[in-house]
Copies of this chain bind each other. A is one copy, B any other.
């Protein structure tokens, strides 16, 4: 019998046996958030710990989806299975026509060794930060040895999510300023491997030079710090993903970084740090739920009106609401 639509226990049991429809439904629960997401995540946590996660990020239009497709092809050529989680800023249109750039990934849609999922989580602060690790955990529990996490690399939450992988690949394009834009978006700090995609276009050499220059600067900062000889200089790989070029070299670089993390003990450190970040985020989110309770209460409307009329200011009003809420809950 098929598991009930929303029974987390049955879904997790089924997805562990390779049931893709159970996997898809479990991910939908995670995407929706709330108690269902929590239950699925907790159950999945008990059956995971083996997947290696690779984040893939860059500006809109950098060719992330095409590159993801090239990496899938490379992994399949090596006989490896892979799951892909593509995180998009959502919009009323996400369901339909504008997913055109996902089309290439559908090359692999009928391949049993590949699982691809688009995930849209906009609307609440911190939603993405919690949903992404839960979704990875579910894919891990389903037995995916490799999980590719594709996100758009602009925006503070999105960059944090992209950086929360075992290996993070940052994609830039040739042309003046692209490396600089990546640095401005905070991508330099999270990159373990750089890809210059569309490397057949003019300007690849300049982009490489810009990246090398910025790396020289950060690496010398690191060397002066505590990390010492365990520091890793991100290699710069050139690809033309639309023609299937460079996926092999990129994957070798990912494996090189993985070996480095394992050799130096940094993989365990990184994962422990990620758990710490997640714990903090969960605590914040729980308190946010409490905040929503406050914002839904009677006092809120009255104090909101007082701020609109400038009889009080937002911070004063918030203080009064928080005080009333602590009184009520104790």
Contacts and interface: CB of A to CB of B under 8 A. Distances in A.
Could you say how many copies of this chain the assembly holds?
2
A95 to B, nearest CB: 12
A91 B170 CA distance: 15
A230 interface: no
A308 B272 contact: yes
Contacts of A271: 308
Nearest to A308: B272
A128 B154 contact: no
Contact of A154 (B152, B188, B218, B283): B152
A46 B313 contact: yes
A186 B91 contact: yes
Interface in A1-51: 38, 41-42, 45-46, 49
A218 B93 CA distance: 10
Nearest to A175: B61
Which of A49, A91, A157 has the most C-beta atoms of chain B within 10 angstroms of its own C-beta? Answer: A91
Interface stretch (A103-111, A246-254, A257-265, A299-307): A299-307
A45 B154 contact: no
B284 A88 contact: no
Which of A272, A278, A318 has the most C-beta atoms of chain B within 10 angstroms of its own C-beta? Answer: A318
Interface string A89-129: 11111100010110000000000000000000011011111
Contact of A45 (B126, B282, B314, B329): B314
A62 to B, nearest CB: 11
Given A92-B189, A287-B291, 12 more contacts: A45-B314, A46-B310, A59-B60, A89-B154, A125-B126, A152-B185, A156-B158, A272-B304, A275-B314, A279-B307, A283-B294, A287-B290
7 contacts: A92-B218, A98-B183, A125-B281, A125-B284, A154-B158, A155-B159, A279-B304
